[in-house]
Amino acid sequence: MDEFYTDKHILLTGVTGFLGKVLLEKILWELHKCLAGVKLTLLVRGSQGSSAERRVNELLECDAFDRLRQRHGKQLYKEIQSSVQILEGDLDQHLFGLDHVKYEALSKDLDVVFHCAALVKWDAPLQADFRVLR
């Protein structure tokens, strides 16, 4: 797996959801030796007064990241901060809620996208469901 990601820029969406957090943990676990050569960006929506960065920090406290905390101890947060870019945005907004410059820079630099975002309102209108998929 390391070889595929070498010198790649990866974008993950939906990391605060069930599937996204599992994928994030797996990527961080398997790439711990070569994170310096991998650029990992997490597109995270701020929510209810919490910034994207705070939501990711809270996420790292959940059980899914236990083995990473065992491996890295207190260094986990430092390693992630130095290796992972947290980008506050919203997939439901034009240009993901990013300004034009940030959006263009992101879109020109990406090699791999893992789109794990989902709409979890079970009674949402069908049009809202399709907006998440675009």
The answer to whether residue 57 scores a pLDDT higher than 60 is: yes
What is the arithmetic mean of pLDDT over 58-77? 87
Confidence of residue 133 (pLDDT cuts 50, 70, 90): low
Question: Residue 86: which domain range?
Answer: 2-133
Q: How far apart are the C-alpha atoms of 9 and 115, rounded to whole Å?
A: 14
Q: What is the pLDDT of residue 63?
A: 93
Residue 79 sits in a domain of what CATH number?
3.40.50.720
pLDDT in tens, 5-50: 778 899 999 999 999 999 999 988 887 665 557 889 999 998 888 9
pLDDT in tens, 110-132: 999 999 987 676 676 666 555 55
Q: How far apart are the C-alpha atoms of 72 and 55, rounded to whole Å?
A: 20
Confidence of residue 1 (pLDDT cuts 50, 70, 90): low
Q: Which amino acid is at 41?
A: T
Domain count, the chain: 1
Q: What is the pLDDT of residue 33?
A: 62
DSSP letters spanning the chain: -HHHHTT-EEEEE-TTSHHHHHHHHHHHHHTTTTGGG-EEEEEE--BTTB-HHHHHHHHTTSGGGHHHHHHHTTHHHHHHHHHEEEEE--TTSGGGG--HHHHHHHHHH-SEEEE------TT--HHHHHHHH-
Q: What is the pLDDT of residue 76?
A: 77
Q: What is the pLDDT of residue 77?
A: 75
Confidence of residue 2 (pLDDT cuts 50, 70, 90): low
Confidence of residue 64 (pLDDT cuts 50, 70, 90): very high
Q: What is the pLDDT of residue 100?
A: 95
